[in-house]
Amino acid sequence: MPEEKRTRRSREAPPEKKKKKVGKRRHRRSAGSVVSFALLYVAAVISISILLACVGWIAANDVLALNKQEKSVTISIDKDDTFDDVVDRLKEEGLIEYKSLFRLFAKVTHGEEKISSGTYNLSTNMDYRALLAGMSMNSANKQEISVTIPEGYTVAQIFQLLEDKGVSTVEELNDVAANHDYAFSFLQDIPLGDPNRLEGYLFPSTYNFYTPHSALYAINKMLVAFDASLTDDMREEILDSGRSIHDIITVASMIERETDGNDRSHIASVIFNRLDHPDAEPAGFLQVDATLVYINGGREPTAEDQTIDSPYNTYLYKGLPPGPIANPGMDSIKAAMNPDSTRDYYYALGDDDAHHFFRTYNQLQKFIASQTRYQ
């Protein structure tokens, strides 16, 4: 019996097989975990992809200027502004949303290098590339300003006006005026080196300039206007008169500074009478007060100013000054070309704010004595 029992026990399944069943259960649990992990991983990848797609879409909206509320903005960029200053301004005005993204785009496209100082009209409809191009030197988005150059302004006054309007600086304008050799026939005999070499030839008119504008091209625009205003017939008429364009513009500039607006041709007759008859009472001295104003800093002339040693002092030097003392308008140029026919050698401003003309010095003195403005 004991042996039989042992035999029966030996036929029973060994305990190890039970352990194997337990092992199979563990294997099934591990496979389930792998499946769960895989599902979580796929879900995470999808979520991240969706997130990145959303971020990419939002970034693309900014880069491509999509879905932005329409808005126009004027941006001014100074010479001292850094690129970061410009980016900050674009962000403040709502033209861009992401400064870092704009900086990266500008660096990759080399757009940062194209930005130039100036005032530009931009809008939220412009994408990154258009914004960068819109702030460049040759941009069509540069703001224009209308500037009227009054008749009788000097070169110095014109340049100061252009600086005040943001067109250019007095320093840049003076440099170009003095040193650039403009290809106009009426300037060929005037040496370089002094900005006043252009005196008389910056034609008074209304111009549209960019802000800022190239100093060279701003001046050229006024010279082109002068060149166009002096027609071929006028040039031929000047040539036939035996005078030069420079002489006519010099006389016209004095007329412009002296006239009350209604007596240009009469003033011209006095000037030419003195020039053409040096043996007459004035002895060839023009004695035009406006020439004193040109050399005394622009103030009201005094008797002491008549002693200033300058070739522009028509009280001290006979004949025409070296050149124009202002930039005359067309009415004064035509008056210089076609003076009235008179025998007058003197004129003076009366209490009625009009000029009165005289043949002799004694007549002039009697008139002055009768006017309260000279008392």
Q: What is the mean pLDDT of each run of 10 residues along the chain (375 residues)?
A: 47 50 51 62 57 56 75 85 92 88 87 86 88 84 91 98 94 97 95 97 96 91 97 96 97 96 96 96 96 95 96 97 98 98 96 96 97 92
In this structure, what token pair is assigned to residue 317? Answer: 């030097």
Burial state string for 82-96 with b = 16 or more CB within 10 A and e = fewer than 16: ebeebbebbeeeebb
Q: CA–CA separation, 123 vs 205, rounded Å?
A: 32
CB of 304 closer than 8 Å to CB of 267: no
Identity at 1, one-letter amino acid code: M
pTM, to two decimals = 0.74
Q: Please, what is the angle between helix 245-258 and helix 330-337, to 10°?
A: 120
pLDDT score at 310 = 97
Q: CA–CA separation, 88 vs 340, rounded Å?
A: 64
Q: Is 36 exposed, middle or buried (0-12, 13-18, 19+ CB in 10 A)?
A: exposed
Backbone torsion region of residue 64, taken as left when φ is above 0, otherwise alpha when ψ lies between -120 and 50, otherwise beta: alpha
Q: Is the peptide bond between 14 and the residue preceding it cis, with omega within 30 degrees of 0?
A: no
Q: CA–CA separation, 353 vs 373, rounded Å?
A: 10
Q: CA–CA separation, 358 vs 251, rounded Å?
A: 20
pLDDT score at 138 = 77
CA 136 to chain CA centroid, Å, is 13
Identity at 145, one-letter amino acid code: I
pLDDT score at 201 = 98
pLDDT score at 1 = 45
Q: CA–CA separation, 350 vs 359, rounded Å?
A: 16
Candidates 243, 244, 254; CA nearest to 325 is: 254
pLDDT score at 328 = 98
**DSSP category for residue 142:** B
